[in-house]
Structure 1
């Protein structure tokens, strides 16, 4: 499964965000994702993708997040 599809699934299941609104260009702010939501998202990504996320800085879009995750695999 592509990383963006995993992110869409997590956001849809855990944060009730419509998967159709999760595009590569979408920003976390635009999707209404706050810092607490990010902690939950990162935790779920670590579990599903079997990666250690660390503490990246400057991630603002879904595309940046997916690129970062892909770099960890």
Structure 2
């Protein structure tokens, strides 16, 4: 799966879970600051991403942006 395909799926999940416009979800989008996601929102997004890509994301991974999520998933699938 390419990074573009991973980004597309992650965007789809974030748009659905956080009810935001797709244009707001870019590689540099900060999940908490830009999308105003609280800890429950983040938990739900992470859960959906883990299920979609069959990965386990720990909180200590330091993921803050959509790009961080894409990179993490890409590395996990390599």
Same fold (TM over 0.5): yes
Tell me which stretches of 4 or more aligned residues in structure 1 moved more than 6 Å. none
Structure 2 unaligned segments of length 5 or more: list them: none
Name the structure 2 match of 1:64.
68
Counterpart contact for 2:17–2:41, Cα < 8 Å = no
Q: Distance in 2 between matches of 1:4 and 1:18?
A: 15
State the TM-score, normalizing by the size of structure 1: 0.85
Q: Which has the higher helix share?
A: 2
Structure 1 unaligned segments of length 5 or more: list them: none
**Paired residues, what number?**
73
Over aligned residue pairs, what C-alpha RMSD do you find? 1.5
Deviations 1:34-71 (Å, cap 9, x if unpaired)? 21111101110111112222333322111111101111
